[in-house]
């Protein structure tokens, strides 16, 4: 025995048929609308991908600068660069401004000779 709502199956079939029998121009318009919507998605995806790449590149460059160019961290303080060759105590004095280095080679030559002379 058929149930009272069985006519809805027939209604569904009729509606399906009406959706399937659209004319070519309408189907084409629907296709264009879908492609437009998908293009929006593609643009957003591409934009996100480009920005991800840019971010990754920037992060890589920053990391490389830190790892392979340590002077860059202290570039604003030449005295600190020289401190790398000094003892910790000298470095502290240098940082406090109590010790000044000179560029005169004669001074270093005299210093070395004096050390040799004094044994």
Q: Which residues bind other proteins (CB under 8 A)?
A: 2, 4-8, 10-12, 14-20, 22, 26-27, 29-30, 33-34, 36-38, 40-42, 44-45, 49, 52
What is d(CA 47, CA 53) in angstroms, rounded to the nearest whole number?
Answer: 10
Residue 91 contacts by C-beta under 8 Å, 6 or more apart in sequence?
83
Query: How crowded is the C-beta side of 82, counted as CA atoms within 13 Å?
Result: 15
Cβ proximity to other proteins: between 14 and 84 the closer is 14
CB of residue 108 to other proteins, shortest distance in Å: 57
Cβ proximity to other proteins: between 41 and 118 the closer is 41
Cβ proximity to other proteins: between 60 and 77 the closer is 60
CB of residue 70 to other proteins, shortest distance in Å: 33
CB of residue 54 to other proteins, shortest distance in Å: 14
What is d(CA 7, CA 11) in angstroms, rounded to the nearest whole number?
Answer: 6
Sign of the CA dihedral with 97 first, then 102, 107, and 109 last: positive
């Amino acid at each position: 025995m058929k149930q009272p709502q069985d006519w809805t199956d027939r209604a569904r079939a009729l509606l399906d048929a009406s959706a399937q029998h659209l004319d070519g121009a309408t189907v084409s318009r629907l296709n264009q609308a879908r492609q437009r919507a998908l293009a929006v998605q593609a643009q957003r995806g591409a934009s996100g991908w480009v920005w991800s790449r840019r971010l990754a590149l920037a992060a890589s460059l920053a990391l490389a600068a830190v790892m392979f160019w340590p002077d860059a961290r202290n570039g604003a303080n030449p005295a600190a660069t020289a401190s790398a060759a000094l003892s910790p105590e000298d470095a502290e004095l240098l940082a406090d401004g109590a010790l000044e280095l000179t560029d005169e080679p004669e001074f270093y030559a005299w210093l070395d000779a004096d050390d040799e002379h004094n044994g």
